[in-house]
Structures are given as C-alpha cells and as structure tokens.
C-alpha cells in the first residue's frame, strides 16, 4: 500500500532537515565546493587565453607565442581535471559516513517504534526508505548539492566575462534566461509529485517481492505463481509508466534549456561575425566570447538534471523523516506504584486498536485478573476473543487504552521497556527465528551472561535435542525465518528462548500448538519444573496445555467471565465446557 501524501512542501525546507547529518562533514563538503568553483573558474580562463593567442601570436604569425599559449591551455586543462578529481576525493568518504549514519538511525528507530506502527506499514516501504531513498540522498549530497552552487557561480562569472567582452552580444545570450527560469519553476512543481509517486511505487514493488520470497512455500503449494507474477507485472507496469512520466518531464525541460541557449549562441555568432567583418570587434574577442558561451553550455544544460535529482532527494528526505517523525514507544512514566498485589495483575484494562473506528466496541473491556506469585494461569477463549492481544499488553507490545497492569505491584508503564522485558519473557504461537546459529537464536532470550549450561537446560525443557543432530549442532545456521526447520522445531526453539533466562514472569501464547502429542507431553513434563519457579500466563487451546496451569481464566466478549480450576469450570461453565469439548474432539481425530 502506497503512503503518498498530497502535501505542499518546499524542497529546500525539506532538504534542510539533512543538516544534522551533514554538519559533522561540513568542512570537507565546503572544501569540495570551493575546489569545484576553482575548477570551473579555471575553465573560464581558457577563453581568455584563446583571445590572447588569436589577437597576439596568431595575428602576428609568432610560432613561439602559439606554442606558449598551447602550453598555458594544457596546464589549465590539467589543473581543471586535478581540481575536479580532488573534489570527488573530498566527498567520497564523508558522504558514505552520512549514508551509514542515516541508515543506522533509521534501523534503531524502527526497533523503538511500537508494534502498532509495524502493523500499519508495509515492510517493503520501510526497506525502500533504508536502501533506495538513502542512495538518492547520498547522490544528491555528492553531486547536485555542490554543482547547483558551482554552476550558478560559473554562469554568473561567465556572463560577466561575456558582457565585458561585448555587452551587445552578452545581452543576446541573456535573452533565454526568463523563459528558462519559468520552465524550471513549472518543472519543479510537476516533477516533485511524480518523483514522490515513483518512490512510493518502488516501496510497493519491494513489498510484493519480499512477500513472494518469504511466502514461496505457500505460492508453490497452492500454485499461485501466475497470480503473483501478474501482480508483480502490474506494479512494474505502473512504476514504468511513472518513470516514463518523469523522463518526459525531464526531456521537456532539457529541450527548452538546450534549445534556447543554442539559438542565442547562433544569433551571437552571426552578429559577432558581422561586427568582426565591419571592424567593430576583434576576431580574438569573438573567439573568447563564443568559447565562454560554449563553456557555459554544461552548467546551463545540467540545470534540468540537477533539479530532477534535487526533487528526487527532497522526496526521499520526506519519506525518510516520515518514519523518523513517528513517535517511539514511550519511556517509563512517573505513575505512582503500590507495593500490594504481588504477581501479575490486570486492573480494569481496556484496549482498542489505534486504527479501529472510534464508535467500535473495544476488543478488551474491563479486564480484571490476578495471577498470584508463582502461579500459572491458563487463558482460554474462542478464536478472535483477544487472547493474544491480552498477552501482548504485558511486555507492552501494545499499550492498554486504559486501566493498569502491574508486576509485583509496580505499574509496567513506570518501568523502562528494557527493565520490563528483562523481567517478562514471551513465546508466541507463530515463532520467529533469525538468520543466525541455533545458539544465538536461543540465547537471545537470556539478556547476556548465559552460556552453554543455560543453553542446554533450555533446549532440554523445550525437548529440542534435535539440534544436536544438525550438521554443526547448536552452531548450525537456521536460515531466514527458520524455514530450514519444521514448524514444531521452530516452536520448540522459541520456547527454549523464552525460558533460557529463567524469567520471573512468563507469557506463552499457545506455545505447543505445532507439536505432536508425544512431543507435547514430553515438553509439558519438563515445563512444569520451569513453571514452578515463575509467574506465568499461558494462552491454551488444548486440555493438556490447560492442565499445566494452576487456574484457568475464560475470556469472552472482551471480559474475563470465569476463573477457576480446569475441573471447576468444566462443571460450572457451559461455554468453557463447550470449548474444551471441541478441543477434545480435535485431539481425538
């Protein structure tokens, strides 16, 4: 989904937001600009040397003077080339540093943004901001930023030189200035809209590619490769059309910028030739004038190209700061805490998703639940009742709309997220593994300081001894998303990650759903020892998982409607008995 926003913005004001990143390297960038100006001015000296040669040694038939002039021209050419080479050397390293810093800041910020943000944004849009957009910004800082200044100075100095040579010819050259400026203003407005649209479409296309790679098993399993290819082609065709629109706008401005000055130079050539023939102008002056005009062709012709790159960079900057301006997860508040209510407690908690309609009922409404210290509580409810959402509130993956959640009497909003998540470990029904070794994936839950002993203990609890038969044992790379492992294996490694740090609070979201009956029984037996030393909230669907817990809470209609032991609720609550009867039948099939 594209995130294009139809907002009026100044490209200059947008690009100025890059200043905090550019400030540390401003000395080298300024030096590069000065060197580039010197190089361009060196090029403007060449026509003056030509004038001296034509009116002097050439007119006087002085071979020595001609050779001397040729030497001057050679030296000026070498100086110009060396200065431009120095400019490139000055900007290469600092701009790579700027790009790396911006990418690192973006990645750090993404880690701090709430889950609700990631639920709204397509991953391809975020990837394109961290890759394509930052590349455009580096290119802008390396070339257009400098040469917009350099070419402006070069044009001004060149025009002054031409006016000094012959003011009437200079005025002829200046005639196209007004239509060129008007064209640039119109071009800037139109191109900025198309540039932003193209960059958003790149993000959409990146999303489709990423989904196609990560979901390749589903695509192949259901034979959906043609529909995926069709969706990709449609987005590619749309992006191609947008890029062609950009090319058309660029061709238009180039046509104006190139044609009008060329016509002016032709007119100046004719007028100057007439003046030379009449003896009103020296041949050397005409040569110098036309050489200066030709030297200004590149600075003038490049205006459209530089404006286009600047607009691309402004759009990329806008897209980058759209993410950076998002509010990160709030820090600990100064809310008062109470010493009572040890364990995990929900105090009249309500939750509605931020993007839900305001008149819609909350998903969770008035949750009151107390899990005593050292107690395990199973959370049971129908599909879609909000069990996973409730568990996500404990580590503050989502923020409660109202009410309080306390750990040992301390409001979780009064803790830093680092402290909270060091005390609460989680394992989700859909486990996520990273492209790293098995040991790295598991020890990620230890928070540092854990070693081989803790790793082996956690693997034993999760019945994940299969890792020792992998090619490199616990050093085996599991591959992207852990797809080299089965669903049950991934789930067991995720459970091992949750228990490896011996957390005081444990939140498990149906962590055994992908296990076969025998493996599930073995894991449950080992897990009972872990649960004896922690306070746990466990989302459960199977009676076998429910029996791990000391008590059971039934979530229905956004509220906790019953709390008791498994056997008590079977006798006294028809809804609970119905849910458990359904799972019994499923387990029996």
Average pLDDT of 137-154? 84
Q: How far is CA 576 from the centre of its chain?
A: 45
Mean pLDDT of the chain: 82
Average pLDDT of 18-46? 85
> Checking phi first, is residue 373 left (phi over 0); if not, alpha (psi -120 to 50) or beta?
beta
- Res 346 pLDDT > 90: yes
- Kindly state whether residues 496 and 422 are assigned to the same domain: yes
483 in Cβ contact with 475 (< 8 Å): no
Whether residue 2 is contained in a domain is answered as no
CATH code for the domain of 410: 3.40.50.300
CA distance 535 to 526: 16
pLDDT, tens digit, 9 for 90 and up, residues 362-418 = 899 989 999 999 899 999 998 888 898 999 899 888 888 899 999 988 899 888 888
Whether residue 8 is contained in a domain is answered as no
- Res 447 pLDDT > 80: no
- Kindly state whether residues 299 and 157 are assigned to the same domain: yes
- Res 589 pLDDT > 70: no
- Res 500 pLDDT > 70: yes
Cα angle 449-450-454, degrees, rounded to a multiple of 5: 160
pLDDT value of position 371: 92
- Kindly state whether residues 355 and 242 are assigned to the same domain: no
The number of domains in the chain is: 2
- Res 5 pLDDT > 60: no
Residue 447 CB-half CA count within 13 A: 13
**With bands split at pLDDT 50, 70 and 90, how would you rate the model's confidence at 348?**
very high
pLDDT value of position 437: 85
Whether residue 339 is contained in a domain is answered as no
Average pLDDT of 23-44? 84
- Kindly state whether residues 307 and 364 are assigned to the same domain: no
- Kindly state whether residues 289 and 364 are assigned to the same domain: no
Helix (H), strand (E) at residue 509 = strand 505-509
Whether residue 259 is contained in a domain is answered as yes
pLDDT, tens digit, 9 for 90 and up, residues 241-279 = 998 998 888 888 878 888 888 888 888 888 888 888 888
Which one is predicted more confidently, 289 or 103?
A: 103
Domain stop point among 255, 290, 324 = 324
- Res 332 pLDDT > 70: no
pLDDT value of position 141: 86
- Kindly state whether residues 439 and 526 are assigned to the same domain: yes
Q: Give residue 461's domain range.
A: 344-588
pLDDT value of position 292: 83
Q: What is the pTM of this model?
A: 0.71
- Kindly state whether residues 252 and 355 are assigned to the same domain: no
pLDDT value of position 341: 58
pLDDT value of position 520: 77
**With bands split at pLDDT 50, 70 and 90, how would you rate the model's confidence at 8?**
very low
490: nearest Cα among 457, 544, 441: 441
CATH code for the domain of 63: 1.20.1560.10
540: nearest Cα among 381, 313, 361: 381
- Kindly state whether residues 73 and 209 are assigned to the same domain: yes
**With bands split at pLDDT 50, 70 and 90, how would you rate the model's confidence at 583?**
low
pLDDT value of position 450: 67
- Res 336 pLDDT > 50: no
**Helices assigned H by DSSP within 166-224:** 167-174, 177-214, 216-221
- Kindly state whether residues 319 and 350 are assigned to the same domain: no
pLDDT value of position 585: 45
- Kindly state whether residues 463 and 564 are assigned to the same domain: yes
Give, rounded to a whole angstrom, the gap between the first and last alpha carbons of the chain: 41
Average pLDDT of 316-345? 73
pLDDT, tens digit, 9 for 90 and up, residues 555-577 = 998 899 999 999 999 999 999 99
Token pair in block for residue 257: 């910028």
pLDDT, tens digit, 9 for 90 and up, residues 152-197 = 888 888 888 888 888 888 888 888 888 888 888 888 778 888 888 8
**Helices assigned H by DSSP within 296-370:** 297-324
pLDDT value of position 481: 62
CA distance 31 to 34: 5
- Kindly state whether residues 233 and 372 are assigned to the same domain: no
């Amino acid at each position: 989904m594209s995130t294009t926003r139809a907002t009026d913005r100044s490209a200059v004001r947008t690009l100025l937001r890059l200043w905090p990143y550019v400030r540390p390297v401003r000395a080298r960038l300024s030096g590069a600009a000065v060197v580039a100006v010197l190089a361009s001015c060196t090029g403007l000296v060449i026509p003056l040397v030509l004038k001296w040669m034509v009116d002097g040694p050439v007119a006087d038939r002085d071979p020595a003077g001609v050779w001397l002039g040729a030497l001057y021209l050679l030296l000026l050419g070498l100086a110009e080339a060396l200065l431009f080479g120095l400019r490139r050397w000055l900007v290469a390293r600092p701009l790579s540093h700027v790009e790396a810093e911006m990418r690192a800041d973006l990645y750090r910020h993404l880690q701090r943004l709430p889950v609700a943000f990631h639920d709204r944004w397509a991953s391809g849009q975020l990837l394109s901001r961290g890759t394509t957009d930052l590349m455009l910004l580096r290119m802008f800082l390396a070339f257009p930023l400098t040469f917009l200044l350099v070419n402006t100075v070069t044009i001004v100095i060149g025009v002054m030189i031409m006016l000094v040579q012959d003011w009437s010819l200079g005025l002829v050259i200046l005639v196209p200035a007004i239509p060129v400026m008007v064209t640039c203003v119109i071009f800037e407005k139109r191109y900025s809209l198309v540039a932003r649209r193209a960059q958003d479409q790149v993000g959409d296309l990146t999303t489709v590619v990423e989904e196609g790679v990560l979901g390749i098993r589903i695509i192949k399993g259901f034979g959906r490769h043609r529909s995926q290819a069709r969706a990709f082609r449609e987005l590619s065709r749309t992006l191609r059309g947008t890029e062609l629109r950009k090319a058309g706008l660029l061709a238009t401005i180039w046509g104006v910028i190139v044609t009008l000055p060329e016509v002016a130079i032709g007119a100046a050539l004719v007028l100057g030739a007439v003046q030379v023939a009449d003896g009103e102008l020296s041949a050397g002056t005409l040569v110098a004038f036309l050489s200066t005009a030709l030297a200004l062709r590149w600075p003038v012709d490049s205006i459209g190209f530089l404006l286009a790159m600047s607009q691309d960079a402004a759009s990329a900057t806008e897209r980058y700061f759209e993410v950076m301006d998002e509010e990160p997860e709030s820090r600990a508040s100064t809310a008062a805490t109470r010493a009572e209510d040890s364990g995990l407690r929900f105090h009249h908690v309500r939750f509605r998703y931020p993007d839900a309609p305001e008149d819609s009922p909350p998903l969770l409404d008035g949750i009151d639940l107390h899990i005593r210290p050292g107690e395990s509580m199973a959370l049971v409810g129908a599909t879609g009742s909000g069990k996973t959402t409730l568990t996500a509130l404990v580590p503050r993956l989502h923020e409660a709309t109202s009410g309080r959640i306390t750990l040992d009497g301390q409001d979780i909003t009064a803790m830093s997220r680092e402290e909270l998540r060091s005390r609460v470990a989680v394992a989700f029904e859909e486990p996520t593994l990273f492209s790293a070794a098995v040991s790295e994936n598991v020890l990620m839950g230890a928070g540092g300081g854990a070693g081989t002993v803790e790793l082996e203990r956690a693997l034993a609890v999760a019945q994940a001894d299969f890792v020792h038969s992998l090619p490199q044992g616990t050093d085996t790379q599991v591959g992207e998303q852990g797809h080299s492992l089965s669903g049950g294996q991934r789930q067991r490694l995720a459970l091992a990650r949750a228990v490896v740090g011996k957390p005081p609070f444990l939140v498990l979201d149906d962590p055994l759903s992908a296990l076969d009956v025998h493996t599930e029984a073995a894991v449950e037996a080992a897990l009972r020892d872990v649960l004896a030393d922690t306070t746990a909230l466990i989302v459960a669907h199977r009676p076998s998982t429910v029996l791990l817990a000391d008590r059971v809470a039934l979530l229905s209609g956004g509220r906790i409607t019953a709390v008791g032991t498994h056997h008590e609720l079977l006798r006294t609550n028809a809804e609970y008995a119905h849910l458990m009867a359904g799972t019994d039948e499923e387990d029996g099939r």
